[in-house]
Amino acid sequence: MTAFNQTLEDILNLAATHFKVPREKLTPDDDFFKTLGIDSLQALDLLTRLEHHFRIELPDYELQGVSDFRTLADRIQARL
């Protein structure tokens, strides 16, 4: 598995676990607001969990307009 795919997989697993959504229901190109049924406050919660998990800082402005897991993984991968 490439580093990018591993990052993507970690994000999907973390999102599924935390927001209690079956992992098999999540795909990389899903709009995570819709699939997880979260608002912007919960998205901020997800951001904080991802920062802790990957031990990175992810400025909010880098996520403006980002709503799918693949792009999110791309932004995170750029900081690993």
Partner 1 sequence: MKSGVVELALHREPCNEIGSLTLDELERFVRALDGLQGEAHALIIYSELKAGFCAGADLRELYRRSQELERKDAAVGVREYLERIHQVLNTIDASPLTTIAAVHGVTFGGGFELALVCDLIIADKMARFCFPELRLGLIPGFGGIPRLKRDLGNAVVRDLLLTGRSFNATKLQQVGLASQVVGEGESLRVARATAAQLGKFDRRTAIAAKKFIKPIPYEELRKEIDVFCELFAQPAVEAGLRKFVESEEAQPYLP
Which spans of this chain sit near partner 1 (rule: CB under 8 A)?
A: 39-41, 44-45, 48-49, 51-52, 57, 59-61
Q: How far apart are CB 24 and partner 1 at their closest, in Å?
A: 27
Q: How far apart are CB 37 and partner 1 at their closest, in Å?
A: 12
Q: How far apart are CB 1 and partner 1 at their closest, in Å?
A: 28
In the numeric block, which tokens belong to residue 46? 């997800």
Residue 31's CB is within 10 A of a number of other CB atoms, namely 10
Q: Which is nearer to partner 1, 44 or 80 (CB)?
A: 44
CB-count exposure of residue 7 (10 Å: 0-12, 13-18, 19+): buried
In the numeric block, which tokens belong to residue 41? 């406050």
